[in-house]
Structure 1
Amino acid sequence: MALGEAVAAEIDDRFRALRKAGTVSAISGIKLWVLVDGGSMLLPKYRHVSAVVGDEVDVDTSRAGAWVVVGVLG
C-alpha cells in the first residue's frame, strides 16, 4: 500500500469512529431515546431529523458528553 493510500485509510477509520448507529426506542418531546452501545440514551437531534420509533439513526459521537442524532439511516 502506498503512503498516500495508508494515510487516506487512517483518516477514513478515524472519521468512522466518530459516528455510531443506534435505534430509536422512544421519543420524548424534541429528543430521542436511542439504543446505542448496549445502552439507552436520551439524545438531542438536529431539526431536520424526522425519526420515528424503530428507525436506525446516525449519531455524531465526536464530542464527549454531547452526542447528537444527525440523521436517519436507510
Structure 2
Amino acid sequence: MAWCIRIVTTGITTLLALAGATSSVADTKLGTEGNIYLANPYADPAESYYGFRMANGDFDGDGIDDLVISELSSPA
C-alpha cells in the first residue's frame, strides 16, 4: 500500500511541475527588423495561384536565409 501512495504523490508532483513550466515556444517572437511591407497588387491572389513556386536560400549574401514566393505567371 505504501508504494501505491508514493506513486500517486510522485505523479501529482510531476504533474504540478509540468503545469507550472513555461513553454519556450510560446515565449519566442519573430523579429520585425528589416522586414518590408509590400502591398499585394493582385485583387485575389488565390485565382492567380499565388505561392505556386517557392525557393529559399541566401540570395543577397547577408547571412540570413531568404524566402522567394512567385505566382504562376512568373517565368521559371
Q: TM-score, normalised by structure 1?
A: 0.28
Q: TM-score, normalised by structure 2?
A: 0.28
Taking CA–CA contacts closer than 8 Å with sequence separation of 6 or more, which of the two structures ends up with the larger relative contact order?
Answer: 1
Give 1 or 2: higher strand fraction: 1
Give 1 or 2: higher helix fraction: 2
Instruction: Indicate the structure (1 or 2) with the bigger Cα radius of gyration.
Output: 2
